[in-house]
Amino acid sequence: MFKKVLIANRGEIAVRIIRTLREMGISPIVAYSQADINSLPLRLADKTVCIGPASASQSYLNTDAIIAAAEITGADAIHPGYGFLSENSDFAQACSDSGITFIGPSAETILKLGDKAGARRMAVQAGIPVTPGTDGCVTPENYELEAAKTGFPLMIKATAGGGGKGIRVVRDMASLKNELQIASAEAMYAFGNSDVYFEKYLENPRHIEMQFVRDSKGNTVTFPERDCSIQRRHQKLIEETPSSAVSEQLRNRLSRAAMKLADTAGYVGAGTVEFLLDREGGFWFMEVNTRLQVEHPVTEAVTGTDLVREQILAAAGEPLSIPAGSLAPHGHAIEFRINAEDPEEDFRPGAGTIQNLFLPGGPGVRTDTHLYTGYSLPVFYDSLIAKLIVHAADRGQAVNRAARALRELEITGIKTTVPFHMSIIQDSDFRSGHTHTGFAEAFIAGIKKNKKQDLTNN
């Protein structure tokens, strides 16, 4: 087992990884940028190494600096968290070439599955239905032809993407070129890779994903599905498990598809297969995330599994601590992503100093965050500042518990999305489980319309 692990990430996920490393008796080391010098992960780590200035391209995306930090501190392995270099095959290979274990799948596997276009081809080979789209990346020479083949509306998606970045919906040829340039630029900035591909855009489906973990012995475990349908601009806002739209029979079909794909790829580590689900129960493969997901805590809540621990065991060549097969959900869990954004100003990201922080507690309540009173939030990175996770015996109780916990949650000094979450869980369609990928956008549009009417009436 590893003695020291370098965490090449920041924020709440760095804190999350540190806690599991501590419980496993592994020394946590944190690589940080100059902008994060006062962050909570640095307080909790055994050692810290500055890897560059605030810009992600010069720090958290700087392979040479991160490898050097691991070598200087004597780290046995590197945990990439999510985002940044977590799905970068070149980084995984650089770790291997330096004799450092990358806590994630091999560079070869990331090339196969982490590249979204390549993953589609493998899904086809495995007999899993996929949405119509391009067979590989588009180029300046072929994008118009590929768009015509795919048909409108279509989605431009970053091959190295995640977190809703590098995604644009295009409804006609006239706007394609401009949207393609924007998506490519966003993908380059976020992931260091500007490659994109096209996928047919389905109106208002469910977004369902299957978590799996596979060890080097070939043992694969699949977990209950997560419903990530509530999104804004393709960025997930609320996730829950199990899904109100998935029957036990459908869950078994999704589980078999995820397991087959993991086995076909010879996967080692934790990953997630994402699907789109229509109202008739048909599903289509979207992509594989070859990393830990932001929403992994809901899976942990309904199965009692520490997914970071399983990641580490798999990377170390150890067998998983849970038996192979498909796990059933126990109760219902919901995660709310708390972002430093102002819902009143079209969710504009912001920064500032945390003046007061009160985190909710009680049965079935968990908060993952890197905030503390007096912490100054930097402006250079993703706006996610906390995740509120609730777990209860069923969905109705989980929603009521969430309402109570959100009411208790207090973060002052900055604008957050807490008021938005408090509004959305009171919605009758949300409470009845009638959600889809267009739900949040329609909900926001309804709020704006009502406010406009109120102003007109006054």
Domain boundaries, position 150: 132-200
Q: String of b and e for 172-200 (b: at least 16 CB within 10 Å)?
A: eeeebeebbeebbebbbebbbbbbbbbbb
- The CATH number that applies at residue 81 is 3.40.50.20
Q: How far apart are CA 37 and CA 40, in angstroms?
A: 9
C-alpha distances in Å from residue 36, one per residue of 125, 354, 415: 44, 15, 20
- The CATH number that applies at residue 432 is 3.30.470.20
Of 103, 121, 152, the residue at which a domain comes to its end is 103
Q: How far apart are CA 200 and CA 101, in angstroms?
A: 37
- The CATH number that applies at residue 137 is 3.30.1490.20
> Which secondary structure element, helix H or strand E, spans residue 14, and what is its range?
helix 11-23
Percent of the chain beyond pLDDT 70?
98
Same domain (yes/no): 262, 375? yes
Of 185, 200, 215, the residue at which a domain comes to its end is 200
Of 200, 229, 248, the residue at which a domain comes to its end is 200
Number of domains into which the chain is organized: 3
Same domain (yes/no): 149, 211? no
Same domain (yes/no): 284, 220? yes
User: With a threshold of 0.85, does the pTM exceed it?
Assistant: yes
Residue 454: the pLDDT is 65
Same domain (yes/no): 214, 315? yes
C-beta separation of 331 from 398 below 8 A: yes
Cα diameter, the chain = 68
Q: Is 119 within a domain?
A: no
pLDDT digits (tens, 9 = 90+) for 203-217: 889 999 999 999 999
List, in order, residues 6 or more apart from 323 with CB less than 8 Å away: 219, 221
The model's confidence at residue 450, banded by pLDDT at 50, 70 and 90, is confident
Q: Is 24 within a domain?
A: yes
Q: How far apart are CA 52 and CA 225, in angstroms?
A: 38
Q: How far apart are CA 1 and CA 30, in angstroms?
A: 19
Q: Is 125 within a domain?
A: no
Residue 158 bridge partners (DSSP): 196
Could you tell me the two tokens for 256? 């078999």
Same domain (yes/no): 88, 136? no
Q: Is 93 within a domain?
A: yes
Q: What is the DSSP string of 330-372?
A: -SEEEEEEEESEEGGGTTEE--EE--EEE---STTEEEEE---
What's the DSSP call for residue 104? S
Task: State whether residue 229 is helix, strand or coil.
Answer: strand
Catalytic option among 291, 366, 395, 401: 291
Q: Is 454 within a domain?
A: no
Lowest mean pLDDT among 42-56, 147-161, 173-187, 289-303: 147-161
Residue 284 bridge partners (DSSP): 276
Same domain (yes/no): 212, 294? yes
**Catalytic residue flag (residue 291):** yes
Tell me the average pLDDT across 81-107.
97
Same domain (yes/no): 165, 275? no
Same domain (yes/no): 272, 400? yes
Same domain (yes/no): 307, 384? yes
Tell me the average pLDDT across 158-173.
83
pLDDT at 164 over 80: no
The model's confidence at residue 456, banded by pLDDT at 50, 70 and 90, is low
Q: How far apart are CA 436 and CA 276, in angstroms?
A: 10
Q: Is 118 within a domain?
A: no
Same domain (yes/no): 230, 362? yes
Mean pLDDT, the chain, rounded, equals 94
Please identify which residue in the block is written with the tokens 């810290």: 48
Q: Is 121 within a domain?
A: no
Same domain (yes/no): 160, 282? no
List, in order, residues 6 or more apart from 288 with CB less than 8 Å away: 113, 114, 119, 261, 271, 272, 273, 274
Q: Is 458 within a domain?
A: no
Residue 457: the pLDDT is 67
Same domain (yes/no): 91, 140? no
Residue 191: the pLDDT is 83
pLDDT at 118 over 80: no
Taking each continuous run of H as one helix and of E as one strand, the counts in the chain are 15, 24
Of 44 and 124, more confident = 44
